[in-house]
Structure 1
Amino acid sequence: MTTTSPLPERAGRRCHNLLNVLHSTHYFSPDLERELAAVGVGDPRAAYFAVRAAAMGPVAAPVVTAAFFNFRPELVARHVPAVWDTAAPPVVLAARTRAVDATLRRLLGEEVAEAGEVAEAAELALRAAEACSAVARPLYAAHAGLPVPEEPHLALWHAATLLREHRGDGHLAALLAAELDPLEALVSHTATGKGMAPQWALGTRGWERADWDAAVGRLRARGLLDGEGNLTDAGVALRRGLEAETDRLDRAPYEHLGAAGVARLTELASDLAGRALAAGAFPAGMVGKG
């Protein structure tokens, strides 16, 4: 039953951001590296493309480039579709599940699989995901077609993935409406101080420094960056508008869960995300302008 409980401003965003921490831990996990290497995928970039795209089936490079948005097309084409010849999507998905299981147990403790708060968080997150829409959201739609795991910690991770990809697909629509290309989106996000640091963007997304500098130039020409690479007032307004529009496009699952449910899920996710961060889930220096 859908609720009409009013939500505090940005409540859905805060809840999503904490759940996304739980989802994202496996991308930086030695467990994922081990499980993907065991099925023949040893390159970490190929592994990332495979685990995130596998729900869509053995798709071609242009599909992955379009859905992921901010990777250099040449980098994607270096690994896709060749990765599917090494490990078919069902094999990759099974390896990912094993990696997520091992990662969450390592970061949150072996008792995570039986913890009552994890089961409660999974139930709330799955309930929120009931209201997600697959329309024009390819990554969400693909993951929504996967079965929900029985184990509570894996069910929570699955629900966090659904909510992450639902918001992410909507965010791409907002970026397109703002007329930001993939690299301009990365550069402007980094300029907020909350995005991926330039060295990480260049190292993981396949762009060259010349590409980055050209995007900086285009943003300056639009009056969005100043001479030092900081956001101008217009740039700050644009980024705030992007997040507000993303919130609007992503409001349905959190409105469905209701204010009390969102508050409780945020509380539970905050504790779990904090534990994961304290356990070293992410590399140092990944976020920021440096």
Structure 2
Amino acid sequence: MGKTVVEIEEFVALRNAKSANEAKSFLSKLSDRIRIPYEKFSTDVPRTCILIGTLNERTFLNDHTGERRYLPVECFKEKREKAIYPDKDYQGDQSEKDYLDSIREDFNQAFAYGYKLYREKKHSWTLPKELLKDFYQEQEKFKYLSPDVEDIRYFLEEYKPRSQEPNITCFKELLMQGYQIKSKSFSEIMDNYFPEWKAIRSSKTKRISPSGVSIPVKLYYEKQEKIVEDFIEVDNGNLPKEWQSEQMEMDTGEKKDIKEKL
């Protein structure tokens, strides 16, 4: 029996690209290859634990290709009701032993509650769709935005609306405006931070004129119009009569010949 919860202290491996890739690879594994003591060969052992990384830095999400792996939970020291170590400000008249016993009891109770949900299959390994929007908003609080992201955002929001072709852009146009950004960074940022701009790739060279100057490209970005998918509820009284009759048939399950209705 291994550990149920594993803490990764000071999870600062995300601060540079190489460590971030190593962290993504480590977190995505479903098993670990180890050599059990006294065994001759290594074996793959399935993971049966959850990983919790802790750190003090606030803006630690700086890898836009792997941020979906992290669910940030902010802890407020000033809002805590108990300390996990003896503290006179929290234990009151309790002795140190009684206070630690109460902490242990609370922990066991929380663990038992989680275990009960697991046994009753009331848990889920993925967030429900209705919480995804809140999840992405919460992630924004902990993202480290590089100067390149801010430069491209300013370019798209301030410069492009005034250009000759506001809905088309490419890396070369950015360079023509004096921005010092690498081609790879530009593509990664456009694909991950600005989903409304769709990448258009072509095997043959195509000429576009986003700023009035013809530019040969094989990759450019085109801004897509937002499509509103929400439906508006209306009263049947506001519908034409022929539509109302069809709606009644759909509600009651009755089937009539269309010719008879007309």
Q: TM-score range by the shorter chain?
A: under 0.3
* Structure with the bigger percentage of strand: 2
Per the normalisation by structure 2, the TM-score is 0.25
Per the normalisation by structure 1, the TM-score is 0.24
Decide which structure has the larger Cα Rg and report it.
2
* Structure with the bigger percentage of helix: 1
Which of the pair has the greater relative contact order for Cα pairs under 8 Å at 6+ separation? 1
